[in-house]
């Protein structure tokens, strides 16, 4: 029997959207709790939610690196579901606290150790038996990409094909925030992700190619619906790892993201001078981590929303086979930065990442998804989820399409 109680951890750009969208579903979420490292951000979100929707939420201070602090907060609140939209560094401590208290867990990004710019599911998949034995669910990567991107693949397979051969995930931000350089979500996490060596999966193995800032990186111009032609770069993204495992018969999967030449030039310079380093350096008698210092200088991603114009276009081009006949579909969402700001005061990157975990929580609250263990999104039923995501502001289109070339 659930009580309609939700605990959200993390009150940044994504956490704000999650809290607003929970407030907009009062029939499901009767008590909303928002916790973060400091009270300042949760309290500002609480005031905005009261002003916009006349809904009361409760705020809490918690250090999510500390399991005992999390456990005592969870015991006090007794949530049915916890949504983790803090940083990937906190995934394991929050999962440990959920295990200790028997609470279902949802996140949007896989675990990454703070001292190693490396992310993969192995650490969280290792919790499979523990969650199973406890009889609770951990749903991993329930944002837009990963998240909806995984579900677009599961949906196209379920609706149209016996098997899927090729997947290209394409993520375009065709927006303009007016700053010379800024990242759209947490700068530290974003820069760690995009400066990595690139990998995609083809014919049973991972193929490595140069990082996006390398002049020999793999890129091409893709003509996005509504947004038009944009330079799109091959990038490693975490959903590739789970989709390779969970989409039987898959022959190739690639992930592409748009970057402007201005963004790449800035990133190249920052990398060359060492300000993206994640190890400690000595400065003025103190130890500092350069990327953390850089984060302090860059605009807060949530603050970009005010004057953001343009759209995001994120989707998948999928080639599959039905009754021996091959065809290709393109499934995508278009989201408008300014409209997100009007609705919940956020830009479209936070909005597209924040709506899906709320839809996932609704699936759990309504008992539409159930089970025990650790799940990636594509292992769950995509149809009711995508319906809920659409109802909450992120509808999708499916069109017949041509496959992207093998070699780019």
What are the residues binding ligand NDP (CB under 6 A)?
10-15, 36-38, 41, 62-65, 85-88, 90, 108-109, 143-147, 185-186, 189, 301-302, 349, 353
CB of 20 to ligand NDP, least distance (A): 13
Q: Which is nearer to ligand NDP, 91 or 168 (CB)?
A: 91
CA distance 10 to 87: 8
Q: Which residue is it, tokens 């479209």?
A: 348
- Decide if 217 contacts 233 (C-beta within 8 A): yes
Cβ-proximal residue to ligand NDP, closest one: 12
Instruction: Calculate the alpha carbon distances from 43 to 36, 59, 124 in Å.
Output: 10, 6, 31
Q: Which is nearer to ligand NDP, 19 or 28 (CB)?
A: 19
CB of 333 to ligand NDP, least distance (A): 12
Q: Which is nearer to ligand NDP, 117 or 320 (CB)?
A: 117
Q: Which is nearer to ligand NDP, 144 or 330 (CB)?
A: 144
Take residue 47 and report the two structure tokens written for it. 């005031």
CB of 64 to ligand NDP, least distance (A): 3
Take residue 211 and report the two structure tokens written for it. 């990082």
Residues forming a β-bridge with 376: 140
Peptide bond into 327 cis (omega under 30): no
CB of 275 to ligand NDP, least distance (A): 18
DSSP 8-state assignment for residue 63: -
SS3 of residue 242 by DSSP: helix
CB of 147 to ligand NDP, least distance (A): 5
Q: Which is nearer to ligand NDP, 97 or 137 (CB)?
A: 97
Query: Phi and psi for 403 in degrees, rounded to 5?
Result: -65, 150
Q: Which is nearer to ligand NDP, 319 or 359 (CB)?
A: 359
CA distance 68 to 152: 37
CB of 323 to ligand NDP, least distance (A): 34
Q: Which is nearer to ligand NDP, 5 or 36 (CB)?
A: 36
CB of 46 to ligand NDP, least distance (A): 13
Q: Which residues contact 191 (CB under 8 A, 6 or more apart)?
A: 183, 267, 270, 276, 291, 294
Q: Which residue is it, tokens 């992120």?
A: 394
CA distance 149 to 67: 31
């Amino acid at each position: 029997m659930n009580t309609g109680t939700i605990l959200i951890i993390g009150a940044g750009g994504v956490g704000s959207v999650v809290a607003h969208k929970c407030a907009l579903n009062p029939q499901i979420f009767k008590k909303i709790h928002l916790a973060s490292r400091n009270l300042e951000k949760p309290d500002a979100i609480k005031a905005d939610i009261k002003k916009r929707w006349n809904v009361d939420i409760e705020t809490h201070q918690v250090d999510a690196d500390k399991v005992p602090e999390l456990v005592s907060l969870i015991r006090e609140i007794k949530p049915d579901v916890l949504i983790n939209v803090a940083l990937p560094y906190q995934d394991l401590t929050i999962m440990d606290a959920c295990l200790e208290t028997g609470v279902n867990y949802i996140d949007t990004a896989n675990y990454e150790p703070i001292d190693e710019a490396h992310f993969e599911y192995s650490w969280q998949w290792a919790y499979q038996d523990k969650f199973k034995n406890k009889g609770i669910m951990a749903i991993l990567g329930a944002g837009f990409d990963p998240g909806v991107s995984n579900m677009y693949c599961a949906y196209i397979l379920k609706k149209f094909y016996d098997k899927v051969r090729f997947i290209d995930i394409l993520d375009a931000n065709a927006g303009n925030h007016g700053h010379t350089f800024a990242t759209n979500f947490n700068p530290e996490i974003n820069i760690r992700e995009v400066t990595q060596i690139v990998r995609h999966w083809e014919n049973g193995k991972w193929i490595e190619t140069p990082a996006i800032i390398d002049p020999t990186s793999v890129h091409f111009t893709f003509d996005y619906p509504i947004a038009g032609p944009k330079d799109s770069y091959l990038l490693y993204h975490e959903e590739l790892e789970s989709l390779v495992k969970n989409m039987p018969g898959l022959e190739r999967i690639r992930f592409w993201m748009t970057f402007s030449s201005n963004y790449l030039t800035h990133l190249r310079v920052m990398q060359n001078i060492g300000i993206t380093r994640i190890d400690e350096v000595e400065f003025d008698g103190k130890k500092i981590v350069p990327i953390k210092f850089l984060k302090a200088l860059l605009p807060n991603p949530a603050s970009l929303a005010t004057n953001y114009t343009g759209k995001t276009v994120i989707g998948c081009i999928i080639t599959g086979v039905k009754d021996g006949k091959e065809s290709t579909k393109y499934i995508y969402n278009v989201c408008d930065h300014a409209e997100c700001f009007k609705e919940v005061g956020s830009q479209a990157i936070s909005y597209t990442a924040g709506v899906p975990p709320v839809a996932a929580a609704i699936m759990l609250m309504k008992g539409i998804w159930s089970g025990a263990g650790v799940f990636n999104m594509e292992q769950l039923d995509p149809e009711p989820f995508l319906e809920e995501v659409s109802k909450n502001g992120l509808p999708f289109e499916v069109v017949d399409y041509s496959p992207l070339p093998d070699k780019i």
